[in-house]
Chains A and B, each alone.
Chain A
Amino acid sequence: MLLPFFIRKHKTYKWVEDGGEVMFAYVMRRLLMLIPVLLGMTLITFSIVHLIPGNPAQVILGETASAQAIADLEENMGLNEPYFVQYSIYLIDLLQGDLGTSLRSKSAISSEIWPYIAATFELTVFAMLFAIIIGVNAGIISAWKQNTWFDYLAMLIALIGVSMPVFWLALMEQWVFAQELGWLPAYGRQESRDPIAAITHLYVLDSLIHLDFDRTVTILKHLVLPSIALGTIPMAIIARMTRSSMLEVMKSDYIRTVRAKGSGQLLVIYKHALKNAMIPVLTVIGLQTGVLLGGAILTETIFSWPGIGRYVYEAISYRDYPVIQSGILVIAFIFVMINLIVDILYKKIDPRIKY
């Protein structure tokens, strides 16, 4: 679906800029590689979910089910077909853009899955914003003021942050800010008594489209606690990575030259040093974003966030094969795409990088 679109673009556009052609070829290659990767993913997830013991019909019907009821349900769900037949059916449907039907809810996964992705996407964006803004700046200042009280304090917080159990932090946040102080809501994506009419299911965006700014504020309030809970570990990792990367860059010759030219400290750090120091940090940011988009089950569970992580997790305990397969496929796709974007950004930041 993607490929013809880009090939057409390629023929009509002439990349004027130096290196554009190379970059384009690189992106094309990466996108082509996506096909075998995703196909491999489907095979692996299909095999794994069907090899783990446990029968979906049995779990759906529970401990009070009769053998007859289980057999009937198995037959209706097509689970008595041989594995390769089930896999072929799944693959053929997938190529037609059909992600299948949930065994448990009997709803089409393709119509069910988007709100989950949107919920996770929104949470990830805000968690990563929190992590990047705080993490990068804390790292920079720590490197700048190396071995001062700020450095020690920031790195201590980062150390605690990395080792913080997310569920504990989440519950503490709820207890302090929702129950004791009452400043922020304890759960959910929005005020449940006053639900939004969803358009994109990205609620912040939806509320802006509706020009309902009071609602935007409510929705942002709902994002604060889960974003902090989810963003704390990435923030700590980013802070530590930024600090060590900055320290290294600050020792390099070109920084000495810039300083010798008489540039101010801020300019040296934020303009000259940061660009080079950002390459490893960017890798971490990309990886962390991918991990968070893959679903943060703990945060999503405690804050009742209807995200993709909980969707897949619950499907696993119910052995809802189509949902597990499609969920993992979508997560893998997002992960690969983020990696691609990160690789492109490398080049953007450091033109010396060649593909």
Chain B
Amino acid sequence: MNLKRLFLFTLLLAFLLVLTACSGDGGANTDTNADDDEADLTEEAEASDEDAEAATAGNQVLVFARGGDSESLDPGSTTDGESSRVTKQVLEGLLEFDKDSFELIPGLAHDWEVSEDGLTYTFHLDEGVTFHDGTDFNAEAVKVNFERWSDPEHAYAFAEDGYVYSMYGTMFGGYKGDEGHVIEAINVIDNYQIEFVLNQPLGFFLQNLGMSYFGITSPAALEEYGSEINENPVGTGPFKFVSWSKNDSIIVDRFEDYRKEGLPKLDRVIFEVIPDNAARLIALRAGEIDIMDGLNPDDAAGIEAEAGLALLTRAENNFGYVGFNAQKEPVDSKEVRQAISYAIDNQAIADALYAGYATSAKNPLPPGYLGYNDEVKGYAYDPEKAKEILAEAGYENGLEIELMMSPTARPYMPDPETVAQIVQNNLADIGIDVTITSHEWAPYLEQTLKGEHQMFLLGWSGTNGDPDYFLSSLLHGSNVGSSNRTFYHNEEVDALLDHAKRAVDQAERAELYMQAQELISEDAPMVTLVHSTPVMAISENVLNYVPHPSTSESLEEVELTE
């Protein structure tokens, strides 16, 4: 009997052993890093233990709940908004965006100059700034970071570990050696002056530098952590990274030597993952969290009336649209596209689906952006006119169109299914028979890239606050088959967008973008539906929290009342 028990026990033990072997990199044949990994893990555990005790001393602990976990804490190698939300606290860029807009303000560079020809940018860096690991921030560190992003061969690029700096590639025209790559050279003038030399002007070069994706990492940390930098961010920001328990929480603590006197005010910020919107709201009401991102628009009205809670909105930085395939029958006809544009009631969509937290859109650019053209007439809901145009175009007997959509909720479109149905009803009114086909998100993105659609539903969100990121990406002819899913190609528009991209004078750029919007509106390659204003709920104890349109805001000035 005893032996049998012993046997069962050993079996269980063996089972556990196998499990821990899976977890601990324990295999004899794995690389030599294995043991370091384990050491790191225990160190991390100990560190978080110490810090946990330290934090109980300070009571300014803020819990920020969001729907999904961060992908990586190395911001340059990800395009994920949940990642930059956290790294924004830990790393800083040369420039920063203002609290609630994309206006540039000083970051690690307190001053900068642009040469007359727009090809040389000189930055004066803050002195006496240290990274969280105690090493000094200087011009060399900036250079290392930019070279890491631009050169896949760089020692810290970690290309063989799957690191790709796609945001860098998108924003600076490619990588080292590519034809479109704009950064020719980066010259360290002295410890606190650095010069970027471009090979062609880039109208939004400075704007790019404000993006949280281009936060500066400590070179010493890149050396120390290697390709595990994605779990060990070290920057100069107001908070230093403490621990990350995947799909659960990320903890950052106040950085005592932060360059801004008296900041940050919080002792600790905890980013919690609560995937379900309703559960997140319950946790907020129960006082377990302080800030919740991703509130259902329908719940917003209730929050406003509720004691102890406050409602916040982010400035609009996106738009949802019904796109056409401008190279496919029958929507290759401008008249058909215009007729459909008149037939869709986007105000009704804004009201029905966003509980009023959206404005109907007439341009493929959010209001408030440089060069937003408010003069554009757009296509106000007018089914009669739509019928007329359709009849003139020779479709008085109606026509059939397929509308492709994916039910995956996006910030610009929380419920694509219902949007598709409203579009279907609207178009039925003018005699267009719409068949809706629903696709899974992953194949959907590919199909629309290949142009398998006649009509589709999608949207776009801004990152650097520059109109180029909206207009060129979505509607420039050279981006067909890439980010231009409408297959829209108008030489005149392309020329305007190219010109605006290379111009340095912002007023001139604004003028060019305005002209482009006129032409685009006339051609109607997409029906712009709404700009949504994401809503959030916070506890009334939270002070000075200002949501940024990019979804990443610094929490340095936030504090809690008792």
Contacts and interface: CB of A to CB of B under 8 A. Distances in A.
Interface of A: 1-2, 5-6, 9, 13, 15-17, 20, 23-24, 27, 53-56, 58-69, 72-73, 76-77, 96-99, 101, 103-108, 110-117, 170-171, 174-175, 178-179, 182, 185-189, 192-199, 301-304, 306, 310-311, 314, 317, 319, 330, 333, 337, 341, 344
Contacts of A5: 14
B20 A58 contact: no
A314 B445 CA distance: 17
Contacts of A304: 248, 272-276, 279
Given A113-B22, A182-B286, A106 B227 contact: yes
B514 interface: no
A174 B29 contact: no
Interface in B163-190: 163-164, 166, 169-170, 174
Nearest to A300: B275
B483 A66 contact: yes
B230 interface: yes
Contacts, number: 251
A81 to B, nearest CB: 14
Given A2-B14, A106-B227, A68 B275 contact: no
Contacts of B4: 17, 20, 23
Interface of B: 1, 3-4, 7-8, 10-12, 14-15, 18-30, 37, 41, 45-46, 48-49, 52, 56, 61, 63, 68, 71-72, 77, 79, 159-164, 166, 169-170, 174, 227-228, 230-231, 243, 245-249, 251, 270, 272-276, 278-280, 282-283, 285-286, 288-289, 410, 440-443, 445-446, 449, 458-461, 463, 473, 479, 481-483
Contacts of A13: 3
A27 B41 CA distance: 35
A14 B275 CA distance: 54
B512 to A, nearest CB: 22
Nearest to A97: B27
A194 B53 CA distance: 9
Contacts of B49: 197
A228 to B, nearest CB: 15
26 contacts: A1-B21, A2-B18, A20-B4, A54-B442, A55-B442, A58-B442, A65-B483, A66-B479, A69-B169, A72-B169, A73-B164, A76-B159, A97-B26, A105-B246, A111-B23, A114-B23, A116-B247, A117-B23, A171-B278, A178-B282, A192-B249, A194-B56, A196-B52, A198-B45, A301-B276, A319-B442
Contacts of B248: 115, 188-189, 304, 306
Contact of B285 (A2, A105, A179): A179
Given A105-B246, A111-B37, A195-B52, 10 more contacts: A24-B7, A53-B443, A65-B166, A66-B166, A69-B166, A98-B30, A106-B161, A108-B25, A108-B37, A314-B247
Contact of A303 (B21, B25, B279): B279
A67 B479 CA distance: 8
A104 B442 CA distance: 14
A193 B29 contact: no
Contact of B61 (A66, A96, A193): A193
Contacts of A60: 71, 79
Nearest to B26: A97
B164 A54 contact: no
Contacts of A195: 48, 52, 243, 245, 249, 251, 270
A63 B460 contact: yes
A196 B48 CA distance: 8
A187 B246 contact: no
Given A306-B246, A310-B275, A344-B8, A72 B166 contact: yes
A111 B41 contact: yes
Nearest to A307: B247
B30 A96 contact: yes
A163 to B, nearest CB: 22
Given A20-B3, A192-B270, A76 B286 contact: no
Nearest to B458: A63
A134 B163 CA distance: 51
A115 B246 contact: yes
Contacts of A189: 248
A59 B441 contact: yes
A60 B71 CA distance: 9
Contact of B288 (A104, A192, A311): A192
A19 B3 CA distance: 12
A114 B22 CA distance: 7
Closest 5 CB pairs of A and B: A97-B27, A54-B442, A114-B23, A197-B49, A69-B166
B475 to A, nearest CB: 14
Given A97-B27, A111-B41, A64 B79 contact: yes
> Which of B21, B170, B246 has the largest count of A CB atoms less than 10 A from its CB?
B246
Nearest to B27: A97
Contacts of A182: 286
Contacts of B446: 53-55, 58
A192 B24 CA distance: 25
Contacts of B231: 107
Contacts of A187: 272, 274, 279-280, 282-283, 288
Contact of A197 (B52, B278, B441): B52
Given A178-B286, A195-B249, A110 B25 contact: yes
Given A106-B163, A198-B245, A310-B247, A302 B442 contact: no
B445 A63 contact: yes
B443 A311 contact: no
Contacts of A16: 3
Nearest to A345: B8
A106 B230 contact: yes
Contacts of B440: 53-54
Nearest to A311: B247
Contact of B445 (A59, A99, A196, A302): A59
B282 to A, nearest CB: 5
Given A53-B443, A185-B286, A317-B441, A302 B276 contact: yes
> Which of B169, B248, B249, B272 has the largest count of A CB atoms less than 10 A from its CB?
B248
Given A178-B286, A188-B272, A319-B442, A101 B21 contact: no
A115 B245 contact: yes
Given A54-B442, A55-B442, A65 B79 contact: yes
B246 A53 contact: no
A186 B286 contact: yes
Contact of B63 (A192, A196, A314): A192
A326 to B, nearest CB: 9
Nearest to A77: B162
A300 B170 CA distance: 36
A270 B18 CA distance: 36
